[in-house]
């Protein structure tokens, strides 16, 4: 069950009908939402809902032990046990075959792969659980009063499948308190949902078909087509992911829960450090708070405080953090390469900021070059991320560099007119000034409900039209 | 309403779902500015026993038919081939499809010369089931060549499609176009796992009219997709074996004793243009 499916639309409509009568009765509301969330998870992951429930129970108990015990060693042991249990669960489901594969290659072993299914959203709820335990261990958070509140926090259906990664400190006070839903919450929540549907269900979906085609066999296409696929995927991944986040945040808002934005126009970043402050914010801040900063402090504490020790600490912490960030995205070497590449980019960026004088950094030309380099870096790194493997990524980039011919632009447009228009409109929307986006949103919010209904039906109909309008396949013969 | 701010959105959603559901129940097709207005699948959601989406129904039909898994097909024991009624008449064979036809036509031409058939290759570059269905192409070609046997090589351009419902319709339409003429479908030689096109063809054609080319191993030319000439010849041999031994319409298709090098003049079209 995904947000843009007809089944979800129907199920959510029925859910919301009853929710509108129970949202201000705390206990009833929480039980009702938990039931729907578990049903939602069951529909997406089947029997693996047991893994989710198991994770909830174990983490809840460990959280209580960490908080209530007076024995320092037991406290520390419980915390480490909790982290270990979460990491092992994630490693088992997500990385066991990846480990087997690499062991076989490196050590020449002949271990068989495990026939295993990855429970959807496990990376997200595991990270939420780790942050919950860590915050309790750091005494920044008290555990939930009862297991139902914790179950609500972990299993909340808008974010259980694909984030954002919400912190307990952000969500638990809202779960515990009486909710006030006003007209503004409803209007802005619904506009967020519509925005997400446009991004994910229409633009990202249509563009993805072209990218799937090219990255299915990059050598079968020209350098120009690979170049467009590189741009296309850069657009697609942003629209798809931020669209999903918009829907999740919009659904939560509609239900009276406020979740922080997960994206902030990342392709407008002035440098790579800035990019990571705007891209998948819930993950990047999680990595910062629970991995990067502890590693950084660890290095600083153990260093001899010689010249550049702060930069060395940054390099040490960034290298490990971005390696793990890459691995978090998937069990494949290409994600590790992607993450490590970003780590290297961040280190170069930080070194530049650390060593070049502020006065020079402020030069307009250098700032402009910085923006261009950033977007180029991001484009190239997405090729590695998207291609089936590193060889395909290399082939695609090789074709872009050595086989690019601008003369393909007219025949390409003639052959793929609709796709070209979709891509162009998407790029314009991505780079639209924020003020204009806010204005469009406020105009939409102020529309009468029946106009919104018509717009919504048109949106769903456009999705139906788009999702059956497939991209024309192999056209290389044309050139 | 003031105490229940969510009700306005609930009504909006209910209204939208109702409109889309009612429209899905209508039998007529509506066009707007020449575009067919697609129907939602709410009808399926409200119809018991018909709610599975394509992939589920394909999977069910696969398991129900007892079709062997990938790789098993070639391992079928030779003695399982019962004495078959081979049609020994000379055939007018239409070999149609996408660019993959180009690789197959040379050896299949030799097979035809050897066995007294006539071959009419038609290469429609970049074509798909959609193209053949919507342009009524198969029927047109059958009539044009007065074909008595059709070998359709199609699906390579549809390995990554997501609109499987539509593809299902296109395949059914193509099947209708064959209009009783002996017709086998040669599946695409996958270079990557497909999103379901092979399963769909199998579902509609049945295992005795569909050859699962994806189970073979190929050497590819530089585009990574099309088999080399040598590999195409191996593919053609396997197809010929299958036609004689396992297909619903076995014909005389003995292996050629030599290369006949008959000059071929395939009809060539390009769907992309």
Q: For A231-275, what is each residue's pLDDT tens digit?
A: 999 999 999 889 989 999 999 999 999 999 999 999 999 999 999
pLDDT at A1: 58
- Is B170 part of any domain? yes
Residue B37 confidence (pLDDT) above 70:
yes
Please identify among residues 48-107 of chain B the ones whose CB lies closer than 8 Å to any CB of chain A: 98-99
- Is B66 part of any domain? no
- Is B69 part of any domain? no
Confidence of residue B61 (pLDDT cuts 50, 70, 90): very low
- Rounded to whole angstroms, the Cα distance separating B35 from B135 reads 16
Average pLDDT over residues A213-242: 88
Residue B48 confidence (pLDDT) above 70:
no
Closest Cα of chain A to B193: distance in Å? 9
Average pLDDT over residues B141-168: 88
Long-range contacts at A116-121 (CB < 8 A, ≥ 24 apart) = A116/A92, A117/A48, A117/A93, A118/A93, A118/A94, A119/A45, A119/A48, A119/A51, A119/A52, A119/A93, A120/A41, A120/A44, A120/A45, A120/A48, A120/A161, A121/A41, A121/A44, A121/A45, A121/A160, A121/A161, A121/A162
Q: Are residues B176 and B127 in the same domain?
A: yes
Residue B32 confidence (pLDDT) above 80:
no
| Count: domains in chain B | 2
Give the angle subtended at the CA of B102 by the CAs of B97 and B108, to the nearest 5°.
90
Q: Residue A196 in contact with residue A246, Cβ under 8 Å?
A: yes
- Rounded to whole angstroms, the Cα distance separating A192 from A87 reads 33
CATH number reported for the structural domain that contains residue B181 in this entry: 3.40.50.1110
Q: Are residues B187 and B250 in the same domain?
A: yes
3-state secondary structure of B251: strand
Residue A434 confidence (pLDDT) above 50:
yes
Work out the mean pLDDT of chain A and round it to a whole number. Answer: 86
Q: Are residues B105 and B36 in the same domain?
A: no
- Chain A residues near residue B15 by CB distance under 8 angstroms: 453
pLDDT at B70: 32
Whether A465 sits inside 8 A of B41 (CB atoms) is no
Among A213, A453, A468, beta carbon nearest to B15: A453
Q: Which residues lie below 8 Å from residue A108, measured CB to CB, with a gap of 6+?
A: none
**A-B Cβ pairs (cutoff 8 Å, strict):** 132
Give the angle subtended at the CA of B194 by the CAs of B249 and A409, to the nearest 5°.
115
Confidence of residue A376 (pLDDT cuts 50, 70, 90): very high
pLDDT at B96: 94
pLDDT over 70 percentage in chain B: 81
- Is B64 part of any domain? no
Query: Is residue A462 classed exposed, middle or buried when 0-12, 13-18 and 19+ CB atoms within 10 A define those classes?
Result: middle
Q: What are phi and psi of A309, to 5 degrees?
A: -65, -30
pLDDT at A449: 83
Q: Are residues B87 and B196 in the same domain?
A: yes
Q: Are residues B47 and B177 in the same domain?
A: no
Residue B134 confidence (pLDDT) above 90:
no
Whether B4 sits inside 8 A of A453 (CB atoms) is no
Q: Are residues B99 and B39 in the same domain?
A: no
pLDDT at A239: 92
- Rounded to whole angstroms, the Cα distance separating A113 from A213 reads 29
pLDDT at B53: 36
Please identify among residues 223-252 of chain B the ones whose CB lies closer than 8 Å to any CB of chain A: 223-225
Work out the mean pLDDT of chain B and round it to a whole number. Answer: 78
For chain B, the residue count is: 273
Whether B125 sits inside 8 A of A469 (CB atoms) is no
Average pLDDT over residues A313-330: 90
pLDDT over 90 percentage in chain A: 39
- Rounded to whole angstroms, the Cα distance separating A78 from A351 reads 39
- Chain B residues near residue A456 by CB distance under 8 angstroms: 12-13, 16
Q: Are residues B91 and B168 in the same domain?
A: yes
Confidence of residue B73 (pLDDT cuts 50, 70, 90): very low
Residue B51 confidence (pLDDT) above 50:
no
Q: Are residues B103 and B24 in the same domain?
A: no
- Is B58 part of any domain? no
Q: Are residues B94 and B211 in the same domain?
A: yes
Q: Are residues B149 and B264 in the same domain?
A: yes
pLDDT at B52: 38
- Rounded to whole angstroms, the Cα distance separating B175 from B239 reads 20
Closest Cα of chain B to A41: distance in Å? 19
Give me the residue spans of the domains in chain A. Answer: 6-179, 185-478
Known catalytic membership, residue A329: yes
Q: Residue B99 in contact with residue A477, Cβ under 8 Å?
A: yes
In terms of Cα–Cα distance, which of B271, B256, B248, B238 is closest to B150? Answer: B248
For residue B39, give its domain range.
7-52
Q: Residue B230 in contact with residue B198, Cβ under 8 Å?
A: no
Average pLDDT over residues B165-186: 90
- Could you tell me the end-to-end alpha-carbon distance of chain B, in angstroms, rounded to an integer? 57
Q: What are the DSSP calls for A177-223, one per residue?
A: SPP---HHHHHHHHHHHHHHIIIIIIIIHHHHHHHHHHHHSGGGS-H
What's the Cα-to-Cα distance from A368 to each of A268, A273, A350, A362, rounded to whole Å? 12, 15, 17, 10
């Amino acid at each position: 069950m995904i947000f843009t499916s007809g089944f979800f639309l129907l199920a959510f409509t029925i859910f919301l009908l009853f929710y509108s009568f129970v949202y201000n009765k705390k206990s009833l509301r929480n039980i009702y939402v938990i039931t729907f969330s578990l049903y939602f998870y069951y529909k997406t992951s089947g029997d693996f809902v047991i893994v989710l429930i198991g994770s909830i129970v174990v983490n809840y108990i460990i959280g209580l032990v960490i908080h209530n015990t007076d024995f320092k060693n037991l406290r520390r042991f419980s915390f480490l046990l909790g982290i270990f249990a979460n990491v092992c669960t994630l490693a088992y489901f997500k990385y066991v075959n990846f480990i087997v594969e690499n062991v076989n290659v490196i050590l020449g072993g002949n271990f068989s792969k495990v026939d295993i299914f990855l429970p959807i959203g496990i990376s997200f709820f595991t990270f939420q659980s780790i942050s919950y335990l860590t915050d309790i261990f750091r005494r920044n958070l008290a555990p939930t009063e009862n297991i139902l509140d914790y179950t609500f926090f972990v299993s909340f259906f808008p974010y259980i499948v694909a984030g954002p990664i919400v912190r307990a400190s952000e969500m638990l006070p809202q779960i515990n308190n009486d909710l006030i839903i006003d007209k503004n919450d409803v209007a802005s929540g619904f506009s967020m949902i519509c925005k997400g549907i446009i991004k994910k269900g229409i633009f990202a979906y249509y563009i993805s078909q072209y990218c799937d085609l090219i990255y299915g066999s990059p050598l079968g296409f020209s350098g120009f087509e690979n170049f467009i696929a590189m741009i296309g995927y850069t657009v697609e991944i942003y629209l798809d992911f931020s669209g999903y986040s918009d829907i999740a945040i919009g659904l939560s808002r509609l239900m009276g829960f406020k979740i922080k934005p997960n994206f902030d126009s990342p392709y407008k970043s002035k440098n790579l450090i800035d990019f990571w402050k705007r891209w998948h914010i819930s993950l990047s801040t999680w990595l910062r708070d629970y991995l990067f900063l502890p590693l950084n402090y660890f290095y600083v504490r153990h260093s001899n405080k010689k010249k550049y020790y702060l930069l060395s600490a940054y390099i040490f912490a960034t290298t490990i953090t971005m390696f793990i960030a890459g691995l978090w995205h998937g069990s494949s070497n290409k994600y590790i390469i992607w993450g490590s590449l970003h780590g290297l980019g961040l280190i170069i960026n930080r070194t530049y900021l650390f060593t070049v004088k502020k006065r020079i950094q402020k030069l307009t030309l250098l700032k402009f070059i910085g923006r261009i380099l950033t977007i180029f870096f991001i484009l190239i790194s997405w090729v590695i991320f998207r291609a089936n493997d590193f060889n395909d990524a290399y082939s695609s980039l090789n074709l872009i560099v050595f086989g690019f011919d601008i003369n393909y632009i007219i025949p390409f447009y003639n052959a793929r007119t609709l796709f070209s228009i979709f891509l162009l409109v998407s790029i314009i929307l991505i780079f639209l000034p924020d003020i204009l986006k806010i204005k469009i949103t406020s105009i939409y919010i102020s529309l009468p409900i029946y106009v919104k209904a018509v717009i919504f039906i048109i949106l769903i109909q456009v999705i139906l039209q788009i999702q059956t309008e497939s991209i024309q396949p192999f056209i290389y013969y044309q050139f | 309403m003031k105490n229940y701010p969510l009700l306005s959105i609930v009504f909006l959603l209910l209204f939208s779902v109702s409109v889309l559901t009612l429209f899905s129940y209508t039998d007529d097709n509506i066009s707007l500015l020449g575009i067919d207005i697609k129907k939602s699948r709410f009808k399926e959601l409200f119809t018991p026993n018909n709610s599975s989406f394509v992939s589920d129904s394909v999977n069910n039909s696969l398991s129900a038919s007892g079709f062997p898994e990938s790789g098993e097909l070639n391992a079928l024991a030779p003695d399982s081939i019962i004495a078959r009624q081979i049609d020994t008449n000379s055939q007018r064979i239409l070999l149609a499809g996408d660019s993959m036809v180009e690789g197959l036509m040379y050896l299949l031409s030799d097979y035809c010369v050897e066995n007294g058939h006539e071959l009419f290759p038609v290469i429609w570059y970049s074509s798909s089931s959609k193209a053949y269905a919507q342009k009524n192409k198969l029927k047109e070609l059958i009539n044009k060549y007065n074909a008595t046997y059709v070998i359709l090589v199609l699906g390579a351009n549809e390995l990554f499609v997501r609109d499987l419902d539509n593809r299902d319709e296109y395949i059914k339409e193509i099947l209708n176009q064959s209009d009783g003429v002996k017709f086998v479908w040669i599946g695409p030689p996958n270079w990557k796992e497909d999103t379901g096109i092979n399963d769909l063809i199998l579902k509609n054609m049945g295992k005795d009219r569909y050859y699962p080319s994806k189970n073979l191993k190929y050497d590819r030319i530089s585009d990574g997709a099309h088999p080399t000439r040598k590999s195409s010849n191996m593919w053609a041999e396997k197809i010929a074996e299958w036609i004689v031994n396992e297909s619903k319409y076995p014909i005389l298709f003995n292996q050629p004793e030599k290369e006949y090098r008959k000059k071929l003049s395939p009809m060539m079209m390009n769907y992309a243009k």
